[in-house]
Structure 1
Amino acid sequence: MTAYTIGLQPVYSQRAEAVPQGVTLPPDWSSLSWHQAETFKLLQDPNVDVVFNQAMTGDGKSLAAYLPAMTNRTYTLAMYPTNELARDQEKQVAGYKAQFKPEYDPQIYRLNAAILEEFIQTNKLSSKLTGLCNRAENSEILLTNPDIFHYIHDFRYLRRNKEGKGDNANRLFAKIDENYQLMLFDEFHVLSSAQITSILNAMLLIKHTVPGKKFLFLSATPNDLLEDFLAKAGLRYRIIDPVKQGAYQFSHGDNWRQINYPIRLSFPKKLEPNLRSSYDWILENVETTILSFFQEHPGSKGAIILNSIAAVKKLVPKFKEIFEPLGLKVRENTGLTGETEKSRSVAEADLLLGTSTIDVGVDFKINFLVFEAADAGNFIQRFGRLGRHEGFEVYQAYALLPNFIVERLFEMEKHPLEDEGTYNRITFSEAIRAHYGYVNEFKQYPKRWGGIQSACVHLELKKSWQMRQQYPEAADKFEADIESTLGIRIKQMYAQLFRCMEKEKKKIIDEARSFRGISQLDCGIYDATNLDEPERERFKNYNLPSLLSNFTFEWMEKKDFMAQAKKGGLASSRFDEALCYLKLTGYRELREDWQFYYGGEDLKDMSKSGKVQILKGLEVTGGTNDISRKLANRGLVCFISDCDRATLRGKLGLPIHFQAYGLSDRAEERKPPYTIAFGRSALLLETLIWHWKPKEDEGWIC
């Protein structure tokens, strides 16, 4: 036996007893689900500020979110964590509009950084601020990302000179917030503690300047940190949890709607916990397991979701060679896939290979799934892509988990699963959460670094005469709420903020104020590996460590890269801050062995400082001398630990894509004794040490 296999029962969702007042369903609809009706009611309740909908994946949370827009003229600003999910939801919302036919004919628009740049360029607008205002004025439903939402409320798009004079602080955020009644955050469980703090700061700014707005968070996975923050901030919230309500069952009933179909789930044995084991298993089983399923079950659709873009890129041509002669289309969808291919891939593919771009909320119709998972939440999210649609006889999944997790689930004492056992989704999800392994949530980050951003928001509220006149109580009330919520003192945050500015450590403040972190190691790349890709879509950003490990490339001079990008019709500003510029030529079959190297002052002393610092002179032992030269000239926000990378990851439960790498002061070192973390990861890593230190010690920034 090479794999353990279990069965998952179908899932049925309880229908609402009645359609809520104010909702008229399309003619061919008979009812709503219980959680959809409950969400609509709470969003109309004047005593509720925030609603959490924790319905299962596939149970129609999106419809619950857009019912007010379809039936009650509720202008909606929706935030999606990935571009692919936003694109998918744009189609969903257009479908709701076609079915509900709202009389006010809401205009639907999708907006991300690239679309905004193109919109400004096409319409010859003066700034991003002008572009955002234009879109808000002409879109009753605006689908964007939490990054743009954060930067609007962190005053980033304002036009100001070096002295800070120019647009008033409410020039943009007030216009946006006044236009929309509902702020929607989908798949919010993927947000880190740092991002949750950014959203909280924005919510409290809105609360004290443009009050009366509703916030809706959608996720099958609860977030205790956000709930705790809202309670302390005095925001009135309600949780809709169909599991606790008993609104799910696992057999057919008269008032129940089927939302998931029975699934066979296999766990291959003896996969080593390394970066190559899943890739090797797929290669070994491409014909005997994967292709044979499609041949035995004609009309099947499938997906393979992996953690590594490089693995997907290497597998795609191998699958095309085997599948396409049989009339089966193979497509890819990763962070390095062009927008044209991305937009067509989900609809066209018989077999779709992708990464995290497709595992968050995207609704595609498949009955076969192979997937990796970085943690329990990631497992439940990716597995939730399967079994959502009728029309297939068999639903089969393969979970490519490290052997120690499979042993916990099936072999160790009190293991929760038995081979050939049958389980319901709730029991199974609980088993996965309990036995998967610990991943650090960095709960000290909001207090340590989130307060820096809070201080910047507070400063904007109090520093200008116009803001004090328009919102006379906002600064004091914001201060009281944020101090109560994060357990900080705004005055102490000011002290840290100004000290960093005086010591020319502004990069650290910029990092703390960013949403996902500033991509210090991102390179501008021209992707020459896909000849079918449109020219303008070959220009991309990608991080240096992954490039060194997995790709082959050639050096490009900045002027040549920029000229080629401009010729392709792209705004060059997108690549201005790139570390360097490379032409991507291929993918390595074996990962390149390289490390970061620092030949400056004593690394041992630096690693014991326990401080986030800005470091110059860093090099890499892979790639080209040109890359090391560019790297050495750039001041990098970083944190250095005297533990090696493997030890640090194991002890602290660092997430899989955490930016921590081996570091040595000897270029020939085989096992680097130090670890260096960059950007947001540096700030996160520092919080695991900082909170144990005396609270009066504020000298934690080097």
Structure 2
Amino acid sequence: MIKIDSYRIERSDENLSGITLRKFQSDVLRSTSPLIVLDAPTGSGKTLAYLAKALKENFGSTVIVYPTNALIFDQLSSIQRLLSALGKKSVLKTPIPDEIFEDTGSGDVSLYVVNGETLNTLAKNSNTTEGRTWLSVLRKDDSPQRVFLTNPEVLYFLFLLRFSKSNELVDSILKPNERHMLVLDEFHLYYGYSLATIYFMLMYIRNRIDQFIFSSATTTVLPDFLGEPERISAAPSPYGDTIQHELEFSFQGMSGSTLSTDDIRELSGLVERAYEQSGKRGKADVVVILNSVLTAYWLARELENKYPGLVSEIHGLVPQGERPKPQELRSLVVGTSAVEVGVDFDTGFLIFEANNVGSFIQRLGRGGRHSPCRVIAVIPSLLCESFRRQLGDGETISRVQLLDSVRNTFSSLPLYSDFLSTQGANLVLLSVLASWVFKAYDKITIKECVDSLTRSLREDRYILPEGLVSRRDELLRTLQREDFGGIIRALGKQMSVRSTLSTLPAFFDLRERSGFDFISLDDLSKVMFSIKSRKEVKRLAKERGKKLPLRFSEYEKIVIVNKVLDRSEKTCISVDKDEYSSEPRPLYSFWVQTLNNSEPYKELLKSQPAFLVDERSDWRLAGLRVCRGGYLILGGDALVAWSANR
């Protein structure tokens, strides 16, 4: 074990409504730059920095985009407390399902939680569409300032006209006679495909935003059209506020980019040893944070067999209302990123899985918040030797040294920030435009869609932002490629911020638990599954007492997970390698080798973009191993791999 010194950050002399600000908070408050990149650790007070700036500069709307719904709900209560401490009365204008109800009164600041659940609740209460209901609530709001907490999917769909009355909605949120701020929290989680779609959205709305703040744990390269940012960081100080207590840190490898069945069994033994070494206080003695709901469910079953009644689960298969509160946590806590928010636990032993810088830093920050803690990071084995060299031979290092070692070890994973200027990104943009056409004309053919896009671009029917006007001719040439039509159709039909196949909507119909969450293409090798239509899944979920989430309503097909296998399968795909080695093409002629039924794979992968690479150098890109050598990148990620390869 390596000892990590406690971490303190610098204070400022500035006081705001009785709150002494930290220096980075004061720097954000005083900054005159319209573009800020903020680097501050978990729990350091980034939210206070956003709110203080919003109040001081009297922004009409402050839109804060969080990467997950769980983080939105977690930050809501924090923002309510902070606004109260700053002397402002906040009023919640949107209902939170099963928890909090909206306040119809007036106040200094209106709070809006905008995600699939709250929009669905609004629509049900008023018996109309989400867009019309949201617009109605906004029109009645006379508060001088508004704060919107949302996720990238909702913001993306809103500004790309997926909601009814969308133009009016934009004007009601970003009123023309006011100044507005947009915050993108945890921006390091976006890369490649998702980064390109976010940037396209920002091109469309940048003239409506007066202040941008990007919060990131890693070096962030922003596109030229946004301008040069001011970079502000939370500087360490030996005399500042303690953000994290001392840690005893170690790490171990997992066999691949995700945990295998063998890894789970080894991890179960690790948790058992950690629990026996803990003080056995009976509450959150060991906390485990994993990447996928499947592995969390799997590990919890293993531990429950060993320690019946001592395991708390916090993940997507556990409904929000059934998740334990901090005082209700049992000795062993197992979950996904849902553990990272809403549960401010004090644990003596933290074990977490991480295969990128962002998740490593975020999860490390959950340990030692209240008292010293032992931490074990589980990382891909191929990175272990590099990480060991980076850490060095010292018995004690600083948190800054640890984070530098993490960044250097995981630096081989690119952001693909230059993807925005490639032909692959042109296909993404055309798919965005095509999604509008598919939304308007459900049964339109791909040829009719391409013809419609071509006419609209030639006749300037689409308002292209300044950064894209010069690419009009490129877009038209790309449309003339017949072989790209299938790709535009496949992506346009499932258009979202994230790449198709990067995460798959799933209904887990398991004996112990059932519920909706997402599953990765890698994790399909660990389960028996089938593919059903949205209508079929909705009916099955109703039989199980579950309801189809609004965020799943855009998907035509959904994975049904029927059983977790005792051992992961060695799945591979057989294709004509020459067909996919030069550029991405829709996947038609292929065969998936699996011990179980291969038909669900065929239904899932048919028509998806595919591109062949020699090896899987970036495990974040979705794909399958090719039976005769190589790796086939699939879905929107195929465009990223193709562009990077060129």
TM-score by length of 2: 0.80
Partner of 2:583: 610
Tell me which amino acid in the other structure corresponds to 1:687. Answer: S
How big is the shift at 1:591?
Answer: 0.8
Give the conservation status (yes or no) of the 8 Å contact 2:316–2:517. no
Tell me, yes or no, if the aligned pair for 2:7 and 2:244 is still in contact at 8 Å. yes
Partner in structure 1 of residue 153 of structure 2 = 147
Alignment deviations for residues 213-259 of structure 1 (CA, whole Å, 9 cap, x no partner): 212222232312x2xx1xx22535321123xxxx312x3x3xx2221
Following the alignment from structure 1 to structure 2, what is the Cα–Cα distance between the partners of residues 298 and 684?
47
Q: 2:215 & 2:342 partners in 1: Cα distance?
A: 10
Give the match's secondary structure for 1:197.
helix
CA RMSD of aligned residues (A): 3.9
**Which structure has the larger Rg?**
1
Partner of 2:510: 528
Equivalent position SS for 2:636: helix
- Mark the CA change 1:106 to 1:658 in structure 2 (over 3 Å): closer, same or farther: same
Aligned mates of 1:418, 1:299 — CA distance in 2:
34
CA distance in 2, matches of 1:627, 1:92: 43
Q: In structure 1, what is the equivalent of residue 417 of structure 2? A: 443
2:443 counterpart residue number: none
- Does structure 2 conserve the Cα–Cα contact (< 8 Å) formed by 1:452 and 1:512? no
Report the Cα distance in structure 1 between the residues aligned to 2:54 and 2:345, rounded to whole angstroms.
Answer: 24
In structure 2, the CA distance between the partners of 1:502 and 1:374, relative to structure 1 (3 Å rule), is closer
1:319 corresponding residue in structure 2: 303
Q: CA shift at 1:447, angstroms?
A: 1.2
The residue that corresponds to 2:633 in the other structure is: 677
Q: Distance in 1 between matches of 2:28 and 2:216?
A: 13
Query: Taking structure 1 as reference, are residues 205 and 362 closer, same or farther at Cα in structure 2, changes over 3 Å only?
Result: farther
- Equivalent pairs: percent with the same residue? 20
Structure 2 CA distance for partners of 1:429 and 1:583, relative to 1, 3 Å:
closer
**83, 92, 99: which one aligns with 2:85:** 99
The equivalences for 1:499-518 within 5 A come to 499=481, 503=485, 505-508=487-490, 510=492, 514-518=496-500
Which of 276, 279, 282 is equivalent to 1:291?
Answer: 276
Q: Which residue of 2 aligns with 1:550?
A: 526
Q: CA deviation at 1:524?
A: 4.6
Question: Match for 1:188: what amino acid?
Answer: F
Structure 1 unaligned regions, length at least 5: 159-166, 464-471, 664-670, 692-702
User: Are the counterparts in 2 of residues 511 and 518 from structure 1 also a CA contact under 8 Å?
Assistant: no
Contact 2:349 2:374 in 1 (8 A): yes
Counting only pairs closer than 5 Å after superposition, residues 158-307 of structure 1 correspond to structure 2 as 158=164, 170-178=167-175, 181-208=180-207, 210=208, 213-224=210-221, 226=222, 229=223, 232-233=224-225, 235=227, 237-242=229-234, 247-249=235-237, 251=238, 253=239, 256-268=240-252, 275-276=259-260, 278-295=263-280, 301-307=285-291
Residues 584-599 of structure 1: pairs in structure 2 closer than 5 A:
584=562, 586-597=563-574
User: How far did residue 345 of structure 1 move?
Assistant: 7.5
CA contact (8 A) 2:192 2:640 kept: no
Note if contact 2:274-2:349 (Cα within 8 Å) is conserved in structure 1. no
- Determine the structure 2 residue equivalent to 1:10: 6
Q: How far is the alpha carbon of 1:303 from its aligned partner?
A: 1.8
The number of aligned residues is 595
SS at match of 1:108: strand
Aligned match for 1:353, one of 323, 329, 334: 334
Whether contact under 8 Å (1:331, 1:345) holds in the other structure is no
1:33 alignment partner, one of 9, 22, 27: 22
> 2:307 and 2:505 mapped to 1: Cα distance?
34
AA partner of residue 227 (structure 2): L
Q: 2:113 aligns with which of 88, 110, 114?
A: 110
1:524 and 1:272 mapped to 2: Cα distance? 25
Aligned residue identity for 1:435:
T
- Structure 2: gaps of 5 or more residues: 90-106, 437-451, 453-459
Match of 1:423 in 2: 397
**Partners of 2:393 and 2:484 in 1: how far apart?**
61
Match of 1:638 in 2: 609
Aligned to 2:72: 86
Deviation at 1:359, TM superposition (A): 5.0
Q: CA contact under 8 A between 1:70 and 1:100: conserved in structure 2? A: no
| Matching residue within 52, 69, 79 for 1:67 | 52
Equivalent residue in structure 2 for 1:662, among 615, 625, 629: 625
CA distance in 2, matches of 1:359, 1:408: 27
Opposite residue 36 of structure 1, the aligned amino acid is Q
2:335 aligned with 1:384: no
Aligned mates of 2:384, 2:522 — CA distance in 1:
30
Between the aligned partners of 1:580 and 1:432, the Cα distance in structure 2 is 36
1:485-526 Cα distance to aligned partner (Å, 9 max, x none): xxx633212332465699455325527963102349846525
Q: How does 1:355-370 map to 2 (within 5 A)?
A: 355-359=336-340, 364-370=345-351
- Report the residue type matching 1:18 in the other structure: E
Tell me if structure 1 keeps the 8 A contact 2:608–2:634.
yes
- 1:36-62 alpha-carbon deviations (Å, 9 max, x no partner): 1111222xx3xx222222123321111
Deviation at 1:124, TM superposition (A): 0.9
Say if 1:51 and 1:217, in contact at 8 Å, map to a contact too: yes
CA distance in 2, matches of 1:506, 1:101: 51
3-state SS of paired residue (1:65):
helix
CA distance in 2: counterparts of 1:187 and 1:436, whole angstroms = 17
Q: Distance in 2 between matches of 1:153 and 1:580?
A: 26
2:448 is matched with none
> Relative to 1, partners in 2 of residues 1:518 and 1:350: Cα closer, same or farther, differing over 3 Å?
same
CA shift at 1:145, angstroms?
Answer: 0.3
Pairwise CA distance, 1:157? 2.3
- Check the 8 A contact 2:278/2:348 in 1, yes or no: no
Alignment partner, residue 76 of structure 1? 62
Distance (Å, rounded) in 1 between the aligned partners of 2:195 and 2:547: 32
| Contact preservation (8 Å) 1:76, 1:180 | no
Contact 1:49–1:236 (8 Å) recurs in 2: no
- Structure 2 distance, partners of 1:332, 1:324, is 13
124, 127, 130: which one aligns with 1:128: 130
In structure 2, how many angstroms separate the alpha carbons of the residues matched to 1:282 and 1:265? 16
* C-alpha separation in 2, matches of 1:526 and 1:443: 35
Deviations 1:163-190 (A, max 9, x none): xxxx6x7343333322872211111111
Distance 1:377 1:61, change over 3 A: same
CA contact (8 A) 2:534 2:557 kept: no
Query: Is the Cα contact below 8 Å between 1:267 and 1:399 reproduced in 2?
Result: yes
Q: Tell whether 2:42 aligns with 1:57.
A: yes
1:455 to 1:556, Cα distance in 2 relative to 1, 3 A: closer
Instruction: Give 1:174's aligned amino acid.
Output: D
In structure 2, the CA distance between the partners of 1:99 and 1:638, relative to structure 1 (3 Å rule), is same
Q: 1:93 to 1:334 in 2, by over 3 A?
A: same
Work out whether residues 123 and 133 of structure 2, in 8 Å CA contact, stay in contact via their aligned partners in 1.
yes
Matched, 1:398 2:398: no
Residues 662-699 of structure 1, C-alpha deviation per residue, up to 9 Å, x if partnerless? Answer: 24xxxxxxx4434322212111111123x3xxxxxxxx
Q: Relative to 1, partners in 2 of residues 1:240 and 1:521: Cα closer, same or farther, differing over 3 Å?
A: closer
Report the 3-state secondary structure (helix = DSSP H, G, I; strand = E; otherwise coil) of the residue aligned with 1:507.
Answer: helix
> Structure 1 residue 9: deviation in Å?
0.9
Tell me the secondary structure at the aligned position of residue 267 of structure 1.
Answer: strand
Contact conserved, 1:455 with 1:494, CA < 8 A, in 2? no
SS at match of 1:615: coil
CA, structure 1 residues 301+73, in 2 after alignment: closer, same or farther (shift >3 Å)? Answer: farther
**Inter-CA distance 348–141: structure 2 relative to 1 (3 Å threshold):** farther
Distance in 2, Cα, partners of 1:555 & 1:196: 29
- Separation (CA, whole Å) in 2 of partners of 1:129 and 1:54: 35
